[in-house]
Amino acid sequence: MTTGLTAGDLYCAVGDSANQVARLELPAAWRAGAAGSDAAGVAGEGAGEQRVRVTTLPFQAAGRIRSLACVPWGGPDGSLVLATSTALYRLPLGGSGAGSGAGAGAGAGAGAGAGAGAGAPELLVDGRGEETRFGEVRGLAVDREGNILLADCLTADVEVTYVRQVAPDGKVTGLVRVEEGPVRHPAILPNGCLALCNYIDYKLVLLHLGLEPPPLLPPAPAGPPRRTLHADMGALLDAQPDGTADLTLVVGGRRFPVHRLILTARCDFFKRRPAAFELLLRFIYTGAVDIPPALAAAVAELADRLLLPELCTDAQAVVLSSVSAKTVVGSLLWAERLGGSFSGLLSSLKAWYLKHHEEVRERAGTSVERLGNDSPRLLEELDGGVSRLAKRQRSEERGGRGGWGRGGPGRGAPGRGGAGGGGRGRRRRGG
C-alpha cells in the first residue's frame, strides 16, 4: 500500500493474484484528522461512521504486484509505479489516462545482454524501457527528485542485492551492490541513508548514499495564506485611523492613533504609575517639582527615557537621600540594570552600602542573599570593598598605637613629666 501525492488517496494491490490496483478515497473527516490520531479514532471521535470510496483501476499486471510507490512526474497528479518481480509499470494519475501502464522491462525477467553499472551480472541489464532486465524486485522507494530506488537480486543468488535507480526519463542505472544477505523494502531516511531490511537475520542495513528524502506530507492545497498573530496586529496598526484607537501619541509633530490596551500589555513604559507621569508633566510646565521618595525611582526612569536629565538627576538624589538598610539592595540592582546616566547613583549607593554594611547584614540579611542571586558580580565587588575597608581600619589602629611609644598620652606614670605631657604638670620649687 502507498499514499498518493494528493491528500486522502491510498493505493493497494487487490485481486486473487494481487495483480490489480485499487484506489481508496478517504472521507474528508479523516483527511483533516488531528495529528497523531488514526483513522478509526478520528472517525469515531469527530465524524462518526464514514464510508471509503474504493475504485479498481483498469489495469492488470503480468504478475503479482510486490511494491507500489507514487512519483511526482508522468501525470497531472504524478504517477503510480508498480513493481512485479521482473517489471515496473507506470500508471499516470489524474485526468482520464489513469489505468494505462507502460512497462520498463515489462513482461520478461530473463534475456540476453550485458549488464551495466555496479558490476551487475548479465541477467540484470541497465538501460531504458524493454531493454532493461530485472531479476527479482523486492521493494521501491522514491527520493525528493522523483527518482525510484529499487532493491533487485537474482533468484540464483539471493544473498546479493543490487540497488538500482530509475530516473524520471526511464533510464535504469545500477548504484551499489549489497552483500548483507537477502534484503528488501528500501526506505529513504531523513539523514539521506537508504535503509533495507534483512528478513532472515532480522537486521537493518544502512547505505550512506546522500539521498534527498521526499517530503513527509503532500503539498498543501492552494488557498489563502495562514493567518498569524503578528500579521493581524500589523494590519491593525496599518489600518489606523479606523476609529478603533483610543489614544493618540504625538511625536515630532506626527500623530499616531494607537490602542491603550495593547501599549500597556506590550511595553513597560506605559505601565508607569500615573502619579509619576503627573510629576513629570509638572516639571515640564514649571521647571520644578517635589518628588516623594516612593515615586523617586519611577520618576527618574521615566525622565531618563523622555530625555529630561535635570529631572532625572533630582529624582536620583531623592532615591539616594531616602535609602536605608532595607532598601539599598533593591536600589543597587535597579541602578545597575539601568546603567548609563544612573552610573553615578550606582557609585554613591555602593559607597553607602560599604559604610553601613554591618547594619545591612543585621537588619536585611535576606536582601543580601537576593543580591548574590541576582548579581553575583556586584556582591563580589561589594564584599571586596568591605574587606579592604576593614583592613585599612586595622592598619590605622595599629599605626595610632605605635606612634606614641610607652610614654604616649595616657601611658606615662602619674605625676611625672615627660615629652608626652602625660604628667600632672610641673613640680613646684621651694616652699
Please tell me the distance from the alpha carbon of residue 290 to that of residue 288, in angstroms, as a whole number.
7
Report domain extents, the chain.
9-29+53-93+123-208, 240-397
Report the candidate in 358, 331, 355 with the shortest Cα–Cα distance to residue 345. Answer: 331
> Cβ(162)–Cβ(186) under 8 Å?
no
Over the stretch 264-314, which tens digit does the pLDDT of each residue have? Answer: 888 777 776 678 888 888 898 888 899 999 999 999 998 998 889 999 999
- pLDDT (0 to 100) of residue 322: 94
Q: Tell me the percentage of the chain whose pLDDT exceeds 70.
A: 77
Fold of 9-29+53-93+123-208: Neuraminidase (2.120.10)
Lowest-pLDDT range of 117-121, 153-157, 199-203, 343-347: 117-121
What pLDDT is stored for residue 188 in this prediction? Answer: 92
How far is 319 from 331, CA to CA, in rounded Å?
8
Residue 411: is its pLDDT beyond 80?
A: no
Q: What confidence tens digit (pLDDT) does each residue in 107-134 have?
A: 333 222 223 334 444 567 888 877 888 8
Cell of 40: 478509526
pLDDT at position 405 over 80: no
- Give the burial class of 136: count Cβ atoms within 10 A of its Cβ; 0-12 exposed, 13-18 middle, 19 or more buried: buried
Same fold flag, 9-29+53-93+123-208 and 240-397 = no
* Interacting residues of 116 by C-beta distance below 8 A, sequence separation 6+: 125, 126, 127, 173, 174
Max avg pLDDT among 2-11, 37-46, 291-300: 291-300
More confident call, 35 vs 178: 178
What is the rounded distance in angstroms from the CA atom of residue 387 to the CA atom of residue 356? 13
Beta pairing partners, 82: 68, 89
Residues 275/262, Cβ–Cβ less than 8 Å: no
Q: What is the 3-state secondary structure (H, E, C) of 21-87?
A: EEEEECCHHHHCCCCCCCHHHHHHHHHCCCCCEEEECCCCCCCCCCEEEEECCCCECEEEEEECCCC
Which listed CATH number (3.30.710, 3.90.380, 3.30.530, 3.40.50) goes with 240-397?
3.30.710
Q: In what helix (H) or strand (E) does residue 90 lie, and over which residues does it extend?
A: strand 88-92
Peptide bond into 241 cis (omega under 30): yes
Which among 182, 180, 166, 90 has a CA at the least distance from the CA of 134? Answer: 166
Element (H, E) at 126: none
Helix (H, G, I), strand (E, B) or coil at 306: coil
Q: Is the model's pLDDT at 208 over the cut of 70?
A: yes
CA 126 to chain centre: 46
Strands 203-208 and 247-251: unpaired
Please give the average per-residue pLDDT across 335-345, as a whole number.
93
